Structure 1
Amino acid sequence: MAGKKYIRVVGAVIVNSDDEILCAQRPSDKNLALKWEFPGGKVEQGETETEALTRELHEEMECRIEVSDKITTTVYEYDFGIVELTTYYAEVLAGEIKLLEHVDMKWMSRENIGDLDWAPADIPAIELIQNKRELSSR
């Protein structure tokens, strides 16, 4: 039996001026159908994580982003492969967000993002995002 496919992906945690976070819902015909995720995608060979994230958001949502702080890297084994997800905070610089890849999107407060049915690899980042506010207010 061959080893599972190892997939490096990046996700953008986009925060708006109201401190709400962009959550995107996966299409029903893909792996992790209708699960929620941070938008992003695969890192291609020869690309940095930041370049991949900028390119993927342009392709999936037609917006230009600025990538800032790294949040975390999580490795999660799914039935279709092993996913290494690195999440970064990001800000939309230009363009209105369009759903070219996802079936739905929501802006949600940090407190409530955990209410959605997330892809498992995204959950550790959600916990860190939710704790960030407490850390910054100390």
Structure 2
Amino acid sequence: MIPLIVTAAVIRDGDAILITRRPQESRHGGMWEFPGGKLDAGESPQECLSREILEELGLEVAVESIFEIAYHRYEWGPVLILAFECRVLNGEIRHIGISDHRWVSPEEMRLYDILPADRPIIAKLLKSV
């Protein structure tokens, strides 16, 4: 089965990193993740991430270098996550496509119910602390 390709943003504010909570009615509702979303046909991963962050959070971001690539197989199928370093250019965080957000250190992420597919990103963040 071909994996679903998704993008994720590593957005920093000093030592804190942005995580968002999935709406209850969504797949994996109530779990925390790095913001981002599914790649649409015909768009680059960078375009996808810019679009998703604007649609879900109301933020304009600069998508910078790739941070991590992670693969995970859920019961419903595999996902391939392309995580990029991102920098906020404009806007205030709004809860458009999310139910909540937090700025947390990599160590504090262990206290949150993070999507399993995002855990390799956290592992890399912990190594770079």
TM-score range, shorter chain: over 0.9
> Could you tell me how far 1:111 is from its partner in structure 2?
2.2
> Could you tell me how far 1:80 is from its partner in structure 2?
2.0
Per the normalisation by structure 2, the TM-score is 0.94
2:9 is the counterpart of 1:12 = yes
The aligned runs of 1:35-54 (5 Å cut-off) are 35-54=31-50
> Could you tell me how far 1:114 is from its partner in structure 2?
2.3
Runs of 4+ residues deviating >2 angstroms: none
Q: Which of 95, 107, 113 pairs up with 1:111?
A: 107
Q: Which residue of 2 aligns with 1:123?
A: 119
Q: Which residue of 2 aligns with 1:102?
A: 98
Amino acid at match of 1:129: L
1:83-116 CA-partner distances (Å, limit 9, x unpaired): 1111111111100011111111100112212221
- Rounded to whole Å, the distance in 2 between the matches of 1:114 and 1:13 is 16
- SS in structure 2 at match of 1:15: strand
The more displaced of 75-84 and 47-56 is 75-84
1:9-47 CA-partner distances (Å, limit 9, x unpaired): 00001101x221001011111111111100000111111
What stretches of structure 2 of length at least 5 have no aligned partner?
none
Q: Calculate the aligned-residue CA RMSD, in Å.
A: 1.2
- SS in structure 2 at match of 1:99: coil
The aligned runs of 1:73-88 (5 Å cut-off) are 73-88=69-84
Identity %: 33
Q: How many residues align?
A: 129
Q: Which residue of 2 aligns with 1:62?
A: 58
- Rounded to whole Å, the distance in 2 between the matches of 1:6 and 1:131 is 27
Rg larger in structure: 1
- SS in structure 2 at match of 1:101: coil
Amino acid at match of 1:13: V
